Chains A and B, each alone.
Chain A
Amino acid sequence: MAQEIQTRIRTLATRRAFLARFASGVFASLIAPAVTSGVLDQVEAASRERTGVGPALTPELPEGMNGQHPIERMLKDLQRALQKPVDQRRWAMVIDLRKCVGCYACTVACIAENKLPPGIAYRPVITETRGTYPNVSRRFIPRPCMQCENPPCVSVCPVQATWKRPDGIVVINYDQCIGCRYCITACPYAARSFDSGYFYSDFEGGSPQPYELLPSPEYGENRVRRKDASPVGNVRKCHFCLHRIERGQLPACVLSCMGRATYFGDLNDPQSLVSELASRPNAFRLKEEMGTEPKVFYLV
């Protein structure tokens, strides 16, 4: 019995040795080109760097892991800006298109925040497909109001119902607007909407749903939307959630961005995150040739 066991162990050892040798040969043939071209050296070097032996890599990690969390920093920037007189602030937004995943959370958050009716979205997300198969990529471009430095929509308004505030945000007085819609035609970014008077319940039958009767915090006015009163019949637009800013809160689209692609702050503050990002060489603005000087910057 014991002899039989010894024989089987020897046989197994021989078989194992054969398989090990065979596998080594196959592996050696696979890695030989890599060894000769120095790939393994690089992998080894990277491994040393990761363990702190060599110089640090610059990985594409979320900012929160790299230091101060961007939300924290933007909130501090916001608080600092609010300490200044309103005419010394210049609110701006930076949208990193490399990080936007096209989840539409900003669109939805804006609608929920401002209680927007059907057909009105202050911040739609444009999907852009580039290239041809097999080299195809998709890019998502959120489009809030550009809060232009030279807003073409303001000068055309016949009744002075829309203007640029000292802090750069373009606003509308709903009680002054006559609903001529001239400003909509003048906006090169289609960032203004006409509130024709639709309710979600119009498409579902019946009377307005409770959520449609919630007051909108826009401009701090808390208006309840009715068919026969403003803002129905008015032009409406994104205002960077002015009511939130004045309370020291970030705009709804900024907070809801799960890819942390949207940044907000004071462009007049050189220490702010948006100042830092907007001055990067990879920042651009939509339709710069129009001379409108948008305050929404995109990073590519």
Chain B
Amino acid sequence: MSRTEKILWGIALVGFLAGIAGLIQRFTGGHTVAAYGTYVPWGLWVAVYTTLVGISIGSFLIAALGEGARIRALQPLTGIALLTALAALAGGLLAIWLDLGHPLRFWKLFFSTSPTSIMGWMAWLYTVYGILLLVLIYLKWARPTSPLLRPLFGLGLALAVIFGGAEGALFGVVSAQALWESALVPIRFLVEGAASGMALVLFLAILLGYLEPEPGRFLRWTLLGLLLATAVLEWSEYSTTIYAGIPAKVESLRIVLFGPFWWVFWIFQIGLGLVVPIILLALSGERRVWLGVAGGLVAFTSLSAKLNLVIPALVVPELEGLRMAFTGPGLSFDYFPTLSEWLLAVWVASTAALIFLTAYRLLPAMRARPA
């Protein structure tokens, strides 16, 4: 085990152990330990779920493009990308499972699926995608020359694009939330997810010392393109919203841009998640350190974009005067995650990291050749 790997294990274990406190509180206190409730029904855990699922899609795209679309430059990263996709998917599903009011009833998603609900479709899409990931990891590990690999990767590519968009559509179809209701949201989810997943694989590949010049170059330009596309999409969404002036939508956007958590947008989402990585990727050449920093920044700040989508839409009252109409726990339009929510989020992310590290250790064939 390399020194870097040991450090990663250490960080993941510390996070896992610290997060157990949040897990215990979640099971003993139910949802009373969280700051979300009736008026802001979704919070940090939903943002973590969408972020991790996006990362899973993005990292899977590397494997699918390499093996399914035969982009040779990406093929050395297939193994690490598949493991990242699996770990991120597991973490995302774990976050949303713990967010349910009745986690033990999750099976109803399969036996009583509503055909009109995008969330109902997602349950099946996640299942198919998760099984496909496991099959692909097995084939890549046990039968790397199997003829099934290419068609399965092709299927996975189509699936990743479909459910990457569907993840955004889950928000985009909600007409009651002005900030969500937009045809750009599914596209943003897909592009942002692709960027964050590819960025994480780039970061891990550099950290673990497996990045060759060719995949590095390919990822650098692809990531740069995705980040520029993200910037265009965000500019397009925000500028048209402000110009159109629909009050509820503008109010949500005002909260994103100038509200009490303005720094999440300007510092994390735009500064560290977009501007700095674009500069690094565009100007720093092929130097691994800077590529790794850019990748890490994009991956680790991707949560901010999801937080800025999920929460600001919900903190604007649906009806004026509702804020003071009745008071009590859960009847607040102000949301900031509780310590329990943060701890559980850390536990989920650490669990995902441990799944990755365990698989990475147990399946040496999945590792790329050292650069």
Answer yes or no: do A and B interact.
yes
Interface of A with B (CB < 8 Å)? 107, 118-121, 124-128, 141, 143, 152, 155-161, 176-182, 184-190, 192-198, 202, 227, 230, 232-235, 286, 290
Within 8 A of A (CB), among B119-145: 119-120, 122-123
In the complex, the answer to whether B320 meets A128 with C-beta atoms within 8 Å is yes
Mostly helix, strand, loop or mixed at chain B's interface?
A: loop
Complex Cα distance A183/B117, Å? Answer: 10
B325 interfacial contact with A, CB 8 Å = yes
Complex Cα distance A193/B120, Å? Answer: 21
Complex Cα distance A24/B32, Å? Answer: 76
Q: How far is the CB of B99 from chain A (nearest CB, A)?
A: 8
Q: How far is the CB of A99 from chain B (nearest CB, A)?
A: 18
Rank and list the top 8 A-B pairs by shortest CB-CB distance, nearest first.
A179-B101, A233-B101, A119-B328, A124-B326, A124-B325, A158-B120, A158-B119, A181-B41
In the complex, the answer to whether A156 meets B330 with C-beta atoms within 8 Å is no
B283 interfacial contact with A, CB 8 Å = no
A188 interface neighbour in B101, B122, B318, B320, Cβ under 8 Å: B318
B184 interfacial contact with A, CB 8 Å = no
B176 interfacial contact with A, CB 8 Å = yes
A186 interface neighbour in B31, B37, B174, Cβ under 8 Å: B174
Interface contact tally, CB-CB below 8 A: 162
In the complex, the answer to whether B41 meets A184 with C-beta atoms within 8 Å is yes
**What residue of chain A has the Cβ atom nearest to residue B122's Cβ?**
A158
Sample of 17 A–B contacts (CB below 8 Å): A119-B37, A119-B329, A119-B331, A127-B321, A128-B321, A152-B175, A158-B113, A158-B120, A178-B102, A181-B41, A189-B318, A190-B39, A195-B101, A198-B330, A230-B102, A232-B30, A234-B101
Which residues on the A side are within 8 Å of B326 (C-beta)?
A: 107, 121, 124-125
Which residues on the A side are within 8 Å of B101 (C-beta)?
A: 177-181, 194-195, 232-235
**What residue of chain B has the Cβ atom nearest to residue A235's Cβ?**
B101
**With A184-B38, A185-B314 as given contacts, are A202 and B120 in contact (CB-CB < 8 Å)?**
no
**With A128-B321, A180-B101, A188-B318 as given contacts, are A156 and B328 in contact (CB-CB < 8 Å)?**
no
By size class, the interface of chain B is: 35 or more
Within 8 A of A (CB), among B56-100: 99-100
The CB with the most chain A CB atoms within 10 A, among B30, B108, B326, is that of B326
**With A180-B100, A233-B30 as given contacts, are A186 and B176 in contact (CB-CB < 8 Å)?**
yes
Which residues on the B side are within 8 Å of A125 (C-beta)?
A: 325-326
The CB with the most chain B CB atoms within 10 A, among A124, A152, A234, A235, is that of A124
The CB with the most chain A CB atoms within 10 A, among B38, B112, B114, B329, is that of B38
In the complex, the answer to whether B328 meets A120 with C-beta atoms within 8 Å is yes
Which residues on the A side are within 8 Å of B108 (C-beta)?
A: 159, 161, 176, 178
B218 interfacial contact with A, CB 8 Å = no
In the complex, the answer to whether B114 meets A158 with C-beta atoms within 8 Å is yes
**What residue of chain B has the Cβ atom nearest to residue A194's Cβ?**
B38
In the complex, the answer to whether B175 meets A159 with C-beta atoms within 8 Å is no
Within 8 A of A (CB), among B13-52: 30-32, 34, 36-39, 41-42
Q: How far is the CB of B273 from chain A (nearest CB, A)?
A: 25
Q: How far is the CB of A247 from chain B (nearest CB, A)?
A: 27
In the complex, the answer to whether B330 meets A182 with C-beta atoms within 8 Å is no
Q: How far is the CB of B100 from chain A (nearest CB, A)?
A: 5
**With A125-B325, A127-B325, A196-B32 as given contacts, are A177 and B102 in contact (CB-CB < 8 Å)?**
yes
In the complex, the answer to whether A193 meets B38 with C-beta atoms within 8 Å is yes
**With A156-B118, A158-B114, A188-B176 as given contacts, are A143 and B30 in contact (CB-CB < 8 Å)?**
no
